[in-house]
Amino acid sequence: MPSDAMTTLILVGAASAHAAELRAAGFAIAAAGDEADAVLVFAATREELTALADKPVAAVGGDIALVVLSALADDALEARLLRAGVEAIVTQAEGPQALARAIRHAVERKRLECAARTAYATDLSTGLPHQAQLLEHMAQLLALRDREPVPMGLIALRLEGLGEAEARLGAVAAQLLRRKVAVRLRGGLRASDVVASLGGDGFAVLLGRLENKGDGERVVAKLTRSLHQPLVVGGEACSVRVCAGLAVYPDHGRDARSLLQRALAQAGWVVSDGGQRQVGPGAHGATRAANDP
């Protein structure tokens, strides 16, 4: 949220009694369901505080700060609320200025938390989401598939040649080469498809919707043809070789991790609970480069 933007609040239940003083303090009041920076909940009794502590805060919204205005102070319950994800707790006795300050601090705390989460979920060398973020996004899509059983595809790409480029041109050039690979992949896909980094020499492509049987294989062929074209880094042409694996929902799995493991294995990784490791050419009998004749 920009520093000069007005903070928008949703007031739940009896918290609406504080609407006038919050508007006077510079806040905008939104209706339930609208976009907002924070939600203010009033708890009049110990039972209401306990109920809030037992309720998953994620239901409020991952990017929205939750502030509790309490009629009483209870250190133990307040600690439980903070552990549950509440950003700030204020008692009525502290007054309207303390409430306004706590809301602003809560919104800033949530903003920093979201920024940190985004940074953690991003491969900094390419700007792409990394594997954990990919799995989370897949899980969300798969939850929707319970109501709309449309096929989706996951492509794992293992690139060979990045290490050679790094040995010849240096680590900075190798990072630039990975960014160029990411841009080329992104340019060959629909806006709704997702490109993710698997770290090192690995990438993944999530095709959120497959309209026809065989679409996944056609995208694999298109992407590998694209990556066969040399990429210029530091004035030098760099070539990469591609091994690809494809997993299709629901034929090859019905959960995110199973689909990813299948695609990785097809692309030439040995997958275990500790992650994946690359195998050498020919070590995985079922694996062949997607661009091999």
β-pair type (241-249, 269-272): unpaired
Contact between residue 276 and residue 265 where contact means Cβ atoms under 8 Å apart: no
Q: What is the pLDDT of residue 60?
A: 52
Cβ atoms within 10 A of the Cβ of 187, count? 9
Domains annotated for the chain, with CATH where assigned, are: 8-120 (3.40.50.2300), 126-278 (3.30.70.270)
Q: What is the pLDDT of residue 113?
A: 79
Rounding to the nearest 10 degrees, give the CA dihedral for residues 180, 183, 184, 187: -160
Contact between residue 30 and residue 3 where contact means Cβ atoms under 8 Å apart: no
Q: 242 in helix, strand or coil?
A: strand
Alpha-carbon radius of gyration of the chain: 25
Sequence-separated contacts (24+) of 118-123 with Cβ below 8 Å: 123/196, 123/197, 123/199
Helix (H) or strand (E) run with residue 139 in it? helix 131-145
Q: What is the pLDDT of residue 164?
A: 84
Q: Residue 38 carries which DSSP code?
A: E
* Cα within 13 Å of Cα(88), Cβ side: 22
User: For the chain, which ranges sit under pLDDT 50?
Assistant: 1-4, 58-59, 272-293
Q: What is the pLDDT of residue 59?
A: 44
Which residue, among 53, 197, 68, has the nearest Cα to 121 in the 3D structure?
A: 197
